[in-house]
Amino acid sequence: TAAEPWPENAALYQQLKEEQILLSDNASSLAVQAFLQMCNLPIRVVCRANAEYMSPSGKLPFIHVGNQVVSELGPIVQFVKAKGHSLSDGLDEVQKAEMKAYMELVNNMLLTAELYLQWCDDVTVEEITHPRYGSPYPWPLNRILSYQKQWEVRRKMKAIGWAGKTLEQVLEDVDQCCQALSQRLGTQPYFFNKQPTELDALVFGHLFTILTTQLTTDELSEKVKNYSNLTAFCRRIEQQYFEGHDKDSSTTVAARSAKRSLLR
């Protein structure tokens, strides 16, 4: 099955775009979409309210290719590599190590900060997360699912030592992470100079989503905007890989979000 070529009807599943999806899942989904676009592999985005439960690992997004289902960026990159497409083949061993380290940095700091903000910051939870997360379901199921997920995320935060952090400290961590990414990127177009890799896709997914999602405060997006090379990076990838595709619903994500801060 690994030898089969990439089919035309490959699909990426995520939650409902307008009403339900949250910051962190949107970022992860956009990262996978960017990666597949960079590999020139066609994919259509399918929105389902129960996407989380359909996923084999419980995490989003997942792709349905042929008769296989793979979730999360890491496994998807390996799956795509088995089919003969790779963005990081041109890197030497030390560069590959660096790329993996920076991807972990994004997961460790940015993704965790997004989860913290949407599930542990009371204001955000009340005004954005709870209404959105359970929105496809009737009461009381929507509240129950919301609280269950919140409890799960808070347990995880406690286990890794983030439960004791204040919002300011989390934003500090985001700033530190963005500073590191900005310094690593420098003046290059992509992290490994001329060609984008899965790291570029991952960073784009998170930073673009942060920049273009409206939350209760602008503090999170302000942290990213402090680094002009990062905003330029996001604009560059958006223009190159997401504009000019007519039927691809991935443009809806970029186009809808483009109405907001990025081009202001």
Partner 1 sequence: MAAPMELSCWGGDWGLPSLHPESLTVMAYAKFSGAPLTVNTINNTWRAPKGDVPALISQDIVISQPAKILNFLRKQKYNADYELSAKQGADTLAYIALLEEKLLPALLHTFWVEAENYCSVTKPWFASRIAFPLSLYLPGKMSREALNRILLTRGRPPLYSLTEVEAQIYRDAKECLNLLSKRLGTSQFFFGDTPTTLDAFVFGFLAPIYKVCFPRVQLQEHLKQLPNLCRFCDDILTCYFRLTVSGHSPAGQDTADANLQKLTQLVNKESNLIEKMDDNLRKSPQHPPRKLTTLKLATGGEESSPISRLSP
Minimum CB distance to partner 1, residue 239 (Å): 26
**Residue 94 sits in the site that holds partner 1 (CB under 8 A):** yes
**Residue 228 sits in the site that holds partner 1 (CB under 8 A):** no
**Residue 151 sits in the site that holds partner 1 (CB under 8 A):** no
Return d(Cα 135, Cα 50) in angstroms, integer. Answer: 11
Residues 105-124 that bind partner 1 (CB under 8 A): 105, 107-109
**Residue 248 sits in the site that holds partner 1 (CB under 8 A):** no
Dig out the tokens for 177 from the structure.
């992470």
Q: Which is nearer to partner 1, 162 or 241 (CB)?
A: 162
Q: Which is nearer to partner 1, 191 or 208 (CB)?
A: 191
According to DSSP, the residues that pair with 45 across neighbouring strands are 12
Residue keyed to tokens 């956009």: 30
Return d(Cα 66, Cα 129) in angstroms, integer. Answer: 34
Dig out the tokens for 96 from the structure.
């590959």
Looking only at the bridges linking them, the beta strands covering 68-71 and 62-65 are antiparallel
Return d(Cα 259, Cα 213) in angstroms, integer. Answer: 11
Q: Is 82 helix (H, G, I), strand (E, B) or coil?
A: helix
**Residue 249 sits in the site that holds partner 1 (CB under 8 A):** no
Q: Which stretch binds partner 1 (CB under 8 A): 26-34, 100-108, 211-219, 225-233?
A: 100-108
State the alpha helices, DSSP H only, in the chain. Answer: 23-38, 51-54, 73-82, 93-105, 112-120, 122-124, 130-133, 141-159, 167-185, 198-212, 219-225, 228-241, 250-258
Q: Which of 143, 155, 259, 260 binds partner 1 (CB under 8 A)?
A: 155
Q: Are 213 and 27 in contact (CB under 8 A)?
A: no
For residue 21, give every residue at least 6 positions away whose Cβ sits within 8 Å of its Cβ, in sequence order, or none. Answer: 14, 15, 29, 47, 132
Residues 3-62 that bind partner 1 (CB under 8 A): 57-59
**Residue 159 sits in the site that holds partner 1 (CB under 8 A):** yes
- Angle (nearest 5°) at CA 185 between 180 and 190: 140
Q: Which is nearer to partner 1, 128 or 185 (CB)?
A: 185
Q: Which is nearer to partner 1, 16 or 145 (CB)?
A: 145
Return d(Cα 162, Cα 153) in angstroms, integer. Answer: 11
**Residue 156 sits in the site that holds partner 1 (CB under 8 A):** yes
Minimum CB distance to partner 1, residue 30 (Å): 21
Q: Which stretch binds partner 1 (CB under 8 A): 10-18, 19-27, 90-98, 211-219?
A: 90-98
Site size toward partner 1, by CB under 8 A: 30
Q: Which of 3, 67, 93, 247 binds partner 1 (CB under 8 A)?
A: 93
Binding map of partner 1 across residues 170-199, x = CB under 8 A, - = no contact: ------xx-xxx-xx-x-------------
Q: Which residues bind partner 1 (CB under 8 A)?
A: 57-59, 93-94, 96-98, 100-102, 104-105, 107-109, 152, 155-156, 159-161, 176-177, 179-181, 183-184, 186
